[in-house]
Amino acid sequence: MSDNELKEVRQDEEELSDIVELVDEQNVVRKFYHVGTIDYKNEWYVGFQAAEEIEGVDPDELVIFKIEGDEDDEVLKPIEDEALLEEVYEEFCRQLDEEEAADEAELLDCDENCARCCNQCPARKDD
């Protein structure tokens, strides 16, 4: 992927997925999965994975951009500083691990009442 800035075109809300379409300076639209958005050192960063085949981007690669601009006119900029990119990547991994651990802990805390109503609870008993 080039070092051109990207703008978010729209999020596909109809399918309730995390697919976001981004357009580069050459007006090429690419589809990505939104992995997450984090605050790191008072700056906002967003991580994506390609939702389609994109030359030069591995399907499992996390593509991270810095968010610049205001809410109505956000621009996604590539991170030029390799050391900062590594720091932000590590923070993404840490936060994703924390979220996963919290989700697992929540499932472990399910009680008998939850087991009756929570379709995602592994303790749920089918009547």
Q: How far apart are CA 8 and CA 21, in angstroms?
A: 6
Q: How far apart are CA 48 and CA 34, in angstroms?
A: 5
Q: What are 50-90's pLDDT values in tens digits?
A: 999 988 888 889 999 999 988 788 889 999 999 999 999 99
pTM to 2 decimals? 0.67
